[in-house]
């Protein structure tokens, strides 16, 4: 009788019997900050057991640990005393039950910075930029003690010390005391900077170019103060030369003498020759081939040579350039170029030869400029019948022009930047004087701009514009290459190349002015390599004061291919185009 009573008592004390269960889902409610939610999910051991069948003891252990893990995951955000309730409703006697675990979180009062003691001893204590970093240190007194913000501010000062040549800098103390009961954090952080080092000798390790050639890129004086920005600028100059496949610039404070840090520049040569080849097709030009040779370095003086041939059925172009590195005033190039072209389309017979000498240079990180002198000879004839006799018009026109030009290019997204918004453009000024190498007086202004905004939805808005004006009283004396045209894939889609503007019968003549604009929305579903676009273009080439705008609309296919962006557009002009639809194919980056 006694044994039976004992058994009944133990059975009753055991409570309900739970079978094994599977955690199907973990939900966190009460938080709006997605980063907090993500941090809790990462910390929860429950998430490591999703979809697995768990025994009772293991399940109870994970549920008990969940609250503590969630509270710890919120500490980096400044919440040291949140209330976390774990709910996992169970069904008595159910077998292999699938559970949804819910964590209800109340953040409560955050820990705030009560006191901040920040200091830098040594020479760095008087450094203006380091003083500014200390003054801007976050979180400030009264703000929530966010660990990420604190570490970022601390790292900024560590990097600034290194960038400005305080190579012996170290912490004297770094401590944060959190008083949970008072919801307070006290920051105690200090450095000793040591001396600020100076620039020592710069040694280039390479065996291709003449000794001293690359030394011209070192714009600072030995013994001037050290700054990482000087080495960054040197790297950009070396990248711009396009001689090297690998550039490794190292400051060596361990080898410093008399407070001067030597700099080693280790360089690996890139492949000397680049060959390109491809096929092309255009409605106006017909089928063709493209070939090119770029020789990165011709000799030990760093000269370059490039030759490119675009040979199509109705349009042929040959361009050869010889470049010499320029280091004085601005990093850039002296260039001599020769271009010859022959165009034999259904409406024009044109031959063009041009000799160019130029000097390019990097003005700032965003701006580059090219000053050049052009000498050209052009012959052209429109292929049409005389309206009176019906016979072919065989009138041939000639033009000779020698003129200077200045072009400036801008981009707010130089190499290595990763901005969501990008602005790029160019401004061209050129002009000639009659009797001084030119057949007519003219001055010309031409500006292009392109702005794009990337969105987190894997899409982008692209706005493009162009404006050009010619000051001349003898437009008829200007060859086609010095006139403005509109229409085509880089102008107004929906119209053929050079279709929009003053015409002689069916043929474009070119104009004094041009204005075009485009708005395009590009999207890539799910962030994949394939996407689409919709766009509207408008504009005109015109001689008067008011443009007669032509507008085209269309859709496009986009592919982020391994060799660069591929764009296929189909567009329809809305203002009496020559054809119903126009199809365009482009490979590579476009301005």
Q: Partners of 187 in the beta sheet?
A: 116, 176
* Pairs from 417-422 (Cβ < 8 Å, separation ≥ 24): 420/453, 420/454, 420/455, 421/451, 421/452, 421/453, 421/454, 422/450, 422/451, 422/452, 422/454
Instruction: Report whether pLDDT(92) > 90.
Output: no
**Sign of torsion, CA 86 91 96 99?**
negative
Residues contacting residue 40 through CB under 8 Å, at least 6 positions apart: 28, 31, 69, 70, 73, 74, 103, 105
pLDDT greater than 60 at residue 12:
no
Average pLDDT for 249-261? 95
Q: Which of 410, 354, 347, 332 is nearest to 383 (CA)?
A: 347
Provide mean pLDDT across the span 411-424: 76
**Are 497 and 284 spatial neighbours (Cβ–Cβ below 8 Å)?**
yes
Span 344-395, pLDDT tens digits: 877 778 999 999 999 999 888 899 999 999 999 999 887 766 555 556 666 7
Token pair listed for 271: 């492949």
Task: Count the alpha carbons within 13 Å of 305 in the hemisphere toward its beta carbon.
Answer: 7
Name the more confident of 415 and 197.
Answer: 197
pLDDT at 119 over 60: yes
Share of the chain above pLDDT 90, in %: 65
**Interval 144-178: pLDDT, tens:** 999 999 999 999 999 999 999 999 999 999 999 99
> What average pLDDT does range 499-521 have in this prediction?
88
Strand partners, 572: 553
Q: Return the pLDDT at 19.
A: 58
Least-confidence region, from 21-30, 235-244, 423-432: 21-30
Cβ burial 302-341 (10 Å sphere, 16+ → b, else e): bebbbebbbebebbbbebebbbebbbeeebbbebebebeb
Q: What is the mean pLDDT of residues 115-138?
A: 94
Three-class SS of residue 456? Answer: coil
Res. 588: pLDDT tops 80: no
Q: Residue 51 — very low, low, confident or very high, per pLDDT cuts 50/70/90?
A: confident
Instruction: Kindly provide the residue ranges of all beta strands, DSSP E only, lying in 206-285, ordered along the sequence.
Output: 244-251, 260-269, 273-282
Q: Calculate what percentage of the chain has a pLDDT beyond 70.
A: 92
Strand-by-strand arrangement of the 244-251 sheet: 198-205, 260-269, 244-251
Instruction: Name the CA dihedral angle for 207, 213, 217, 222, rounded to a multiple of 10 degrees.
Output: 90
pLDDT mean over 89-103 = 76
Which of 77-91, 154-168, 198-212, 308-322 is least confident? 77-91
Cα 539 to Cα 514, 546, 553, 560, distances in angstroms: 8, 11, 12, 29
What gap in Å lies between CA 530 and CA 255, rounded to an integer? Answer: 52
The CB density around residue 59, as the number of other CB atoms within 10 Å, is 22
Q: What is the mean pLDDT of residues 467-473?
A: 95
What strand order describes the sheet that includes 170-179? 112-121, 184-192, 170-179
Cβ 45 vs Cβ 73: under 8 Å: no
Question: Pick from 114, 117, 156: which is nearest to 133 by CA?
Answer: 156
Q: CA 502, CA 485: separation in Å to the nearest integer?
A: 9
Please give the full DSSP string across 113-132, using - where no structure is assigned: EEEEEEEEESGGGG-HHHHH
**Model confidence at 14: pLDDT above 60:** no
- Could you report the per-residue pLDDT of 312-326, keeping only the tens digit for each? 888 899 999 999 999
Q: Tell whether the model's pLDDT for residue 418 goes beyond 90.
A: no
For residue 106, the cross-strand partners are: 83
The DSSP H or E segment spanning 171 is: strand 170-179
Of 31-45, 211-225, 269-283, where does mean pLDDT reach its minimum? 269-283
Position 488 confidence tier, pLDDT thresholds 50, 70, 90:
confident
Query: Both tokens of residue 281?
Result: 């097709």
11 pLDDT exceeds 50? no
| Cα–Cα dist 108/235, whole Å | 50
| CB 406, CB 422: distance < 8 Å | no
* Structural element, H or E, at residue 271: none
pLDDT at 2: 46
* 3-state SS track over 48-66: HHCCCEECHHHHHHHHHHH
Mean pLDDT rounded to a whole number for the chain: 88
pLDDT at 8 over 60: no
Q: For residues 318 and 300, give the distance between their C-alpha atoms in angstroms, rounded to a whole number.
A: 27
Confidence of residue 5 (pLDDT cuts 50, 70, 90): very low
> Most confidently modeled of 38-42, 400-404, 419-423?
400-404
Q: Specify the 3-state DSSP secondary structure of 306.
A: strand
Q: Please tell me the predicted confidence (pLDDT) of residue 48.
A: 85
């Amino acid at each position: 009788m006694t044994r039976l009573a004992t058994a009944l008592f133990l059975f009753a004390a055991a409570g309900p019997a739970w079978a094994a269960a599977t955690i199907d889902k973990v939900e966190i409610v009460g938080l709006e900050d997605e980063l907090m939610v993500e941090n809790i999910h990462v910390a929860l051991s429950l998430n490591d057991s999703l979809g697995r069948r768990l025994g009772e003891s293991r399940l109870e252990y994970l549920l008990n640990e969940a609250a503590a893990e969630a509270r710890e995951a919120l500490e980096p955000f400044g919440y040291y005393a949140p209330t976390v309730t774990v709910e996992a409703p169970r069904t008595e006697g159910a077998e292999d039950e699938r559970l949804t675990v819910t964590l209800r979180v109340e953040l409560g009062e955050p820990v705030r910075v009560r006191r901040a003691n920040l200091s830098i001893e040594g020479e760095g204590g008087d450094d203006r930029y380091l003083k500014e970093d200390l003054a801007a240190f976050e979180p400030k007194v009264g703000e929530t003690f966010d660990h990420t913000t604190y570490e970022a501010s601390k790292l900024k000062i560590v990097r600034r010390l290194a960038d400005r040549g305080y190579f012996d800098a170290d912490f004297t103390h770094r401590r944060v005391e959190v008083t949970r009961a008072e919801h307070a954090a006290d920051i105690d952080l200090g450095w000793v900077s040591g001396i600020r080092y100076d620039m020592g000798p710069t040694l280039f390790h390479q065996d291709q170019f003449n000794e001293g050639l690359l030394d011209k890129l070192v714009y600072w004086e030995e013994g001037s103060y050290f700054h990482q920005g000087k080495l960054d600028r040197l790297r950009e100059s070396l990248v711009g030369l396009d001689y090297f496949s690998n550039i490794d610039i190292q400051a060596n404070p361990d080898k410093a003498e008399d407070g001067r840090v030597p700099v080693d520049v280790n360089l690996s040569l890139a492949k000397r020759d680049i060959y390109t080849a491809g096929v092309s097709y255009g409605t106006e030009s017909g089928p063709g081939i493209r070939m090119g040779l770029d020789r990165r370095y011709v000799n030990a003086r760093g000269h370059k040579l490039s030759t490119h041939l675009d040979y199509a059925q109705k349009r042929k172009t040959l361009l050869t350039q010889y470049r010499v590195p320029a280091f004085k005033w601005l990093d850039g190039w002296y260039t001599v170029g020769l271009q010859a072209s022959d165009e034999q389309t259904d409406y024009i017979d044109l031959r063009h030869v041009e000799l160019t000498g130029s000097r390019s240079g990097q003005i700032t990180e965003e701006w580059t400029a090219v000053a050049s002198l052009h000498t050209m000879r052009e012959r052209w004839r429109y292929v049409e019948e005389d309206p009176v006799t019906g016979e072919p018009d065989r009138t041939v026109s000639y033009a000779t022009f020698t003129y200077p030009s200045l072009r400036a290019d801008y981009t707010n997204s130089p190499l290595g930047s990763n901005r969501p918004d990008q602005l790029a453009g160019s401004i061209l000024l050129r002009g000639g004087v009659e009797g001084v190498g030119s057949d007519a007086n003219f001055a010309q202004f031409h500006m292009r701009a392109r702005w794009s905004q990337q969105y987190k939805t894997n899409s982008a808005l692209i706005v493009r514009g162009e404006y050009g004006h010619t000051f001349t009283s003898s437009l008829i004396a200007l060859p086609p290459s010095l006139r403005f045209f509109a229409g085509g894939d880089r102008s107004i889609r929906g119209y053929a190349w050079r279709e929009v503007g003053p015409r002689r019968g069916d043929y474009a003549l070119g104009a004094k002015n041009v204005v075009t604009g485009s708005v395009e929305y590009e999207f890539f579903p799910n962030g994949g390599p394939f996407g689409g676009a919709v766009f509207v273009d408008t504009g005109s080439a015109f001689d008067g004061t008011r443009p007669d705008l032509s507008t085209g609309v269309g859709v496009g296919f986009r592919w982020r291919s391994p060799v660069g962006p591929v764009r296929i557009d189909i567009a329809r002009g809305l203002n009496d185009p020559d054809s119903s639809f126009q199809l365009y194919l482009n490979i590579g980056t476009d301005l």
